[in-house]
């Protein structure tokens, strides 16, 4: 099983966090390819940054997906996920939908703990787009500057743990989702310290990717997740153009 994990941001330090947690989570036979977006921003907090990240992910996936059994879009918010699911022949997973799938198997209502206030409204929209806002207990987020995006989870360890506890005690969270690739691995660190199950996007996505490959449910050839109909295009990066022409 060969797995391509794409960081839609340009931060190699975050890619390293993702890779570390992916390696800790994956089955022994899984082979990992890590890619970092060649353009974009340090970390995605907004819809506009997600728009850029989506295009970067599309380009990386178009260039590198071939030969892999599954692809993971490794930013919370899942930039580009729906589109890639149409166009790639293998399963594609995002951190948000994977974390939510795990959370839904562990309790009825979940809270999301995130790295910045700014990110919260957009995350809420992503939960809405997943049709799961009825199970969202709350989104709580750090309210402090983030000097190093690769060290958020250590710089703010106490504050993040406190947010988790408040989600449980004040918002009724039955599961806590630690959101955002910069927090990859924190769920593992917090194990045993929180009174409810804790879910991480990266490890969830890796496990669910392996499961989908094993289950082999098939690729859509009809309906809205079939590859886009052939039609004229122009000015696209060669890899994306090849993807659109492939039948």
Task: Find the binder of a copy of itself among 214, 238, 242, 245 (CB under 8 A).
Answer: 214
The reply on whether position 192 binds a copy of itself by CB under 8 A is: yes
Structure tokens at 230: 């052939």
Give CA–CA dist 178/115, Å, rounded.
9
**Continuous H helices in 105-229:** 117-129, 152-155, 157-171, 186-190, 201-215
CA distance 143 to 166: 14
Q: Is 79 in contact with 73 (CB distance < 8 Å)?
A: yes
Q: Which two tokens stand for residue 185?
A: 């691995």
DSSP label of 225: G
| Residue nearer to a copy of itself on the CB measure, 108 or 242 | 108
Out of 16, 32, 129, 239, the residue judged to bind a copy of itself by CB under 8 A:
129
Q: Segment 138-167, which members bind a copy of itself (CB under 8 A)? A: none
Binding string to a copy of itself for residues 98 to 117, with x set by CB under 8 A, is what? x-xxx-xxxxxx------x-
Among 30, 68, 199, 201, binds a copy of itself (CB under 8 A): 199
If binding is defined by CB under 8 A, does position 20 make contact with a copy of itself? no
Residue 123 structure tokens: 């995350």
Asked if 244 touches a copy of itself (CB under 8 A), the answer is yes
Report the site for a copy of itself in 53-92 (rule: CB under 8 A): 54-55, 58, 80, 82-87, 91
Q: In what side-by-side order are the strands of the sheet with 2-7?
A: 31-36, 2-7, 70-73, 92-94
Selected from 89, 226, 242, 246, the binder of a copy of itself by CB under 8 A is: 226
Cβ neighbors of 16 (< 8 A, separation 6 or more) are: 150
Least distance from C-beta 67 to a copy of itself, angstroms?
20
Question: Looking at beta carbons only, is 121 or 157 nearer to a copy of itself?
Answer: 121
Rounded-to-integer distance, Cα 11 and Cα 177, Å: 22
Minimal distance in Å, beta carbon 159 to a copy of itself?
18
Total site size for a copy of itself, rule CB under 8 A = 100
For 124, the 3-state DSSP assignment is helix
Tell the residue number behind the tokens 């790639």, with chain if given. 88
Per-residue interface string for the shown chain with a copy of itself, residues 24-53, x marking contact by CB under 8 A:
-x-x----------xxxxxx-xxxxxxxx-
């Amino acid at each position: 099983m060969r797995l391509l994990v794409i960081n839609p941001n340009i931060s190699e330090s975050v890619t390293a966090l993702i890779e570390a947690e992916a390696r800790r989570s994956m089955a022994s036979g899984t082979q990992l390819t890590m890619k970092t977006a060649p353009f974009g921003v340090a970390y995605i907090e907004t819809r506009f940054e997600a728009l850029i990240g989506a295009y970067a992910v599309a380009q990386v996936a178009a260039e590198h997906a071939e030969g892999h059994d599954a692809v993971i879009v490794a930013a919370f918010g899942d930039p580009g996920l729906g589109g890639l699911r149409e166009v790639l022949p293998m399963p594609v997973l995002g951190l948000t939908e994977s974390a939510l799938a795990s959370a839904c198997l562990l309790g009825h209502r979940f809270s999301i703990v995130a790295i910045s206030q700014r990110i919260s409204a957009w995350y809420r929209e992503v939960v809405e787009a997943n049709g799961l806002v009825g199970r969202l207990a709350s989104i709580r987020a750090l309210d402090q500057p983030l000097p190093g995006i690769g060290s958020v989870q250590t710089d703010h360890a106490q504050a993040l743990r406190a947010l988790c506890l408040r989600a449980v005690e004040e918002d009724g969270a039955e599961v806590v989702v630690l959101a955002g690739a910069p927090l990859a691995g924190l769920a593992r660190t917090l194990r045993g310290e929180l009174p409810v199950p804790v879910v991480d996007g990266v490890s969830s996505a890796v496990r669910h990717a392996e499961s989908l490959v094993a289950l082999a449910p098939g690729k859509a050839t009809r309906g809205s997740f079939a590859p886009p109909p052939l039609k004229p295009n122009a000015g696209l990066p060669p890899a994306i153009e090849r993807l659109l022409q492939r039948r």
